[in-house]
Amino acid sequence: MVFSPITIGNRMKKNLIFICIILAFGSIQAQNSENAGSVNGSFQMDAQFYRPDPSIGITDSTIAGRKIGMNGYGNIIYSLGNFKAGMRYEAYLPPLAGFDPRQEGNGFPYLWASYNSELIDLTVGNFYEQFGNGLIFRSYEEWTLGYDNSMNGLRVVLHPMKGMTLKGIYGSQRFYWQKFERNSRGIVKGVDGEFNLNEAINGWESAPLRITFGGSAVSKFQKDADPIYNLPENVGAFAGRMNLGTGNFNLMTEYAYKINDPSTLNNFIYREGRALLASISYAERGLGIVLQLKRVDNMSFKSDRSITTNALDINFLPPINRTHSYSLTAKYPYATQPNGEMGLQFQVNYKMPKGSLIGGKYGTGIAVNFSQVNDIARKAVNDTTAIGQDGTLGYSSDFFKISDHIFYRDMNIEIDKRFNSKLKGVFQYMNLLYDIATIEGHTGDPAVKANMLVTDLTYRLSGRKAIRAEAQGLWTKQDDGDWAALMVEYTIAPKWFFALADQYNYGNEEKDKRNHYYTVSAGYTQESTRFAITFGRQSEGVVCVGGVCRQVPASSGLTLTISSSF
């Protein structure tokens, strides 16, 4: 269906009515200053001006007339006692390069009102929510990815007794600007309960053992009108979790199960889904140790069977890999493989005490991190069925058996040291194995084996002025070959920064692709308002947040960011 002027008119009218209600509350309260409401919010606009840059593959035809892209939002929340209401305006006109073209548009995709009391929290309209670690339900928004799977419906949170929280959600999920219509996508409903024994039982508040239990159930309904498959219209998923803490130790675990949910992503197999997440940690002053384990088997859970992109996810499978922040160490980020993965992460953070041999005068921080994710082992269900064949159970998989196929392995060590009152540094080494064929869909390409080094030095010139320099190297024989990166940043705290940076793909096998990706940037911050401007090139890459990734194409031009909160 095409949006008719009448439909758009009606939608605008509804938005205006909503705005008027909020303003009316405001004006009523303005007359009654003893119980005045409050308004807060935030604003951001990211605009990019693109220019042709043939040496990195950007021509007039790739820009296709879209010389400027803009992503922007404004978030307003009105609070009055137990009542709150809010709205978020968004505009993608057109979206920045690398964002899904279906985002193009503008309007109010997020409108809500809520009432909170000691016993009950009620929300109508749009909301975000998470059950446990999100293995069977998480709705959230991530601006940098252009990701939003917010619910549109009803949410009830009950606090029937101390230490007990019960949640219920019911609604449909956001899919860009496409309004929910009958059978256009699934309907999601779910309940979650969490019980904190230490809060619930008198006398257990300061018990040496801290215990929290939780459980959740989620169901999605999507009509089956497929002429080939007999599809389940109601797909249920269930999860149980437990958190135990004693002294400096903490153990967290969650197990999730989903009934048959054939979809495009799992090639329409009828196998059930399972996921396990466990974490054990120890923490004391100067020392932190974490071991995390994860097993995922056929756990993609979306409110539309046909979606293969980052949209309409009902659940969230948390990554257990270190999130790197330097430009080259972040070049090959891991994206969760919902069809199957087994992984572990082990991290030790240790602060060498002041005055020790290595700790020196100021102490030295050392972080050692190892993570590896493999595929799960799969076996054919019988002699006549290929593994993963559509319209079958797909495969069988031994819970404890790991496939030899490594998706991702990251070994890194980071040393954080202050040399004197003016100079401090961060030094990092990283060894990476990255199955680019699976993670980025470059089927047939060999896995990237890379070594990386980072040196990050900050020198304080005076009380408010500092200069920071980053030097990075990435050495690999695969993909685009070797890279080097340099960055110099001058900061006049708390208002100004100026930076020069360059990434150089000097080891690319194709000589005409040995490009420099330079940027010049500056920023100004006044209270909670920030302006930043960057001119230069951005290399092609992948941006991931929480294991969810998007491809970023190479671009060249000027970027302007304005953000503010009030």
Partner 1 sequence: MKREIMIALKNIVLTIIIVIIFASCDKIEPPYKQSGNTQIETPTRKVLLEDYTGHTCVNCPAAAKKALEIQQLYGDKMIIMTVHAGFFALPTASPFNNDYRTPAGEEWDQFFSLSAVGNPIGMVNRQNTGGVYGIGNGNWGTGVAAIIEDASIIKLEIESSFNETNRKLDVELKSTFLEAASGNYKIVACIVEDSLVSAQRNNDQTIGPATILDYVHRHVLRENINGSWGEDLIAVGQLPSSTSNKQYSVTLNANYKANHTSVVAFVYDALTFEILQVEEKHIY
Q: What is the contact mask toward partner 1 in residues 305 to 344, using x (rule: CB under 8 A)?
A: xxxxx-----------------------------------
The verdict on 2 binding partner 1 (CB under 8 A) reads yes
By CB under 8 A, what part of segment 197-226 binds partner 1?
A: 217, 219, 221, 225-226
Among 10, 38, 117, 178, binds partner 1 (CB under 8 A): 178
Separation of CA 31 from chain center? 43
**What is the number of other CB atoms lying within 10 angstroms of the CB of residue 340?**
24
Shortest reach from residue 341's CB to partner 1, in Å: 16
Cα 221 to Cα 127: distance, rounded to the nearest angstrom: 19
Among 190, 340, 536, 547, binds partner 1 (CB under 8 A): 190
**Do 543 and 521 meet the contact criterion of CB atoms below 8 Å apart?**
no
77 closest CA partner among 24, 43, 40: 40
**DSSP run (H or E) holding 455:** strand 448-460
Which of these segments, 160-168, 196-204, 355-363, 496-504, binds partner 1 (CB under 8 A)?
Answer: 160-168
Number of residues that bind partner 1 (CB under 8 A): 65
**What is the number of other CB atoms lying within 10 angstroms of the CB of residue 33?**
7
By CB under 8 A, what part of segment 393-452 binds partner 1?
A: 437, 441, 443-444
Q: What is the contact mask toward partner 1 in residues 370 to 389, using x (rule: CB under 8 A)?
A: ----------------xxxx
By CB under 8 A, what part of segment 261-290 binds partner 1?
A: 262-264, 267-268, 270
Shortest reach from residue 214's CB to partner 1, in Å: 13
What is the radius of gyration, based on Cα positions, of the chain? Answer: 26
Which residues contact residue 106 at a Cβ distance below 8 angstroms, ignoring those fewer than 6 apart? 89, 90, 91, 92, 93
Among 233, 398, 509, 527, binds partner 1 (CB under 8 A): 233
The verdict on 9 binding partner 1 (CB under 8 A) reads no
Among 45, 93, 197, 259, binds partner 1 (CB under 8 A): 259
Q: Which is nearer to partner 1, 42 or 130 (CB)?
A: 130
The verdict on 82 binding partner 1 (CB under 8 A) reads no
Separation of CA 294 from chain center? 18
**Do 87 and 101 meet the contact criterion of CB atoms below 8 Å apart?**
no
Separation of CA 300 from chain center? 16
Shortest reach from residue 228's CB to partner 1, in Å: 5
Return the SS3 of 481: coil
Task: Produce one character per residue of 49-67: b if its CB has 16 or more CB atoms within 10 Å, e if not.
Answer: ebeebeebebeeebbeeee
By CB under 8 A, what part of segment 58-77 binds partner 1?
A: 64
The verdict on 390 binding partner 1 (CB under 8 A) reads yes
Evaluate the omega torsion of the peptide bond into residue 494 and state whether it is cis, within 30 degrees of 0: yes
Residues that bind partner 1 (CB under 8 A): 1-3, 64, 100-102, 104-105, 158, 160-161, 166, 168, 176-179, 181, 184, 189-191, 193, 217, 219, 221, 225-236, 238, 259-260, 262-264, 267-268, 270, 304-309, 386-392, 437, 441, 443-444
